[in-house]
Amino acid sequence: MIQADVKLDTLGYFCPMPIIMTLKKLKELTLGQVLEVVSDDEGIKKDMPAWCDTTGHQMVGLEEVQTKSGTIYKAFVKKTK
Amino acid sequence: MTIAQMDPAVALADLQVSKPDKVTIVLLSGDMDRAMAAFIIATGAAAMGMQVTVFFTFWGLNAIRRKGATSSAKDWLRQMFGLLNKGGADCLPLSRFHFWGLGTKMMQQVMKQNRMPGVPELMETALDLGVHFIACTTTMGLMGITKDTLIEGIDQFAGVTTYLAEAKQGSVNLFI
């Protein structure tokens, strides 16, 4: 399990909202802090690494959690700039 | 509960090699679905740190018209055109399944239920993220759309050369 400093709930939101919410939330964090983005949009599996790659933030990991209502994705992003 | 971990290095490996930094989108269509696609790409690109310019022309201008604003064009023909051609980001019809407004209303309802942002919200997010809006003056003149009937936040009123100057430096140029 990856430890996150701040958690961001984007459940129920579709692309591109989780990414935009991540961008806004990361601005509030300090360097080195890890943000946990919780989403039920499968696209985040590819989108978050792509976004991190382009913006320079570090993708620390991705977890998939099976729940009764479906799969939930947890993306961990470390603020690097 | 099962947890699958993915190595970020593997995930990054197959991603794009080149990093585009400038995106231009020409929005010619005034359809809700097409405008949504344009603004989703625009906001996504802006969130990735790219510089984004959206060039509104012909029916695409309807997306940046204020709802209910009447044209102050001088001749009656263009005045009529401005009146009949309804504008406003939340008034755009679907390209298919519109059914005299019923289909579009249904789609807007479904989107609301699913917390999917519509054209007005996406457009606001785009402006928030610093996406540049250019309104095409040629088609504005042609269709009797005057500056005072457009929303706030339009960066430039320009023509084809301004667009091309931007597009020349763009690595992603889309026509919607």
- Segment A53-74, tens digit of pLDDT: 888 999 999 999 999 888 999 9
In percent, the amount of chain A with pLDDT more than 70 equals 100
Q: State how far residue B79 is from chain A, nearest Cα, in angstroms.
A: 38
Q: How many domains does chain A have?
A: 1
Domains of chain B with CATH codes: 32-46+60-175 (3.40.1260.10)
Q: Which residues span the domain enclosing A72?
A: 6-78
The residue among B142 and B46 whose pLDDT is bigger is B46
Residue A34 C-alpha, separation from nearest chain B C-alpha, in angstroms: 14
Please write the tens of the pLDDT for every residue from B93-124: 999 988 988 999 999 999 999 888 999 999 99
What residues does B53 pair with on adjacent strands?
Answer: B24, B132
In terms of CA atoms, which chain B residue is nearest residue A68?
B1
**Mind listing the pLDDT tens digit for each residue in B137-172?**
989 888 888 888 999 999 999 989 889 989 999 999
**Structural domain includes residue A1:** no
Q: Has A52 been annotated as catalytic?
A: no
Torsion of CA B46, B50, B56, B59, to 10 degrees: -60
Q: Determine, for residues B47 and A63 on separate chains, whether the beta-carbon distance falls below 8 Å.
A: no
On whether residue A32 sits in a domain, the answer given is yes
**Burial letters for B141-158: b for 16+ Cβ neighbours within 10 Å, e otherwise?**
eebbbbeebbbeeeeeeb
Compute the 3-state secondary structure of chain B and give helix, strand, coil in percent, each to the nearest 5. Answer: 50, 15, 35
Q: Which residues of A touch B48 (CB under 8 A)?
A: 50-51, 54-55
CATH at residue A42: 3.30.110.40
- Scanning every residue of chain A, which has its alpha carbon at the shortest distance from the alpha carbon of B16? A50
Q: Which of A14, A23, A59 sits opposite B8 (nearest CB)?
A: A59
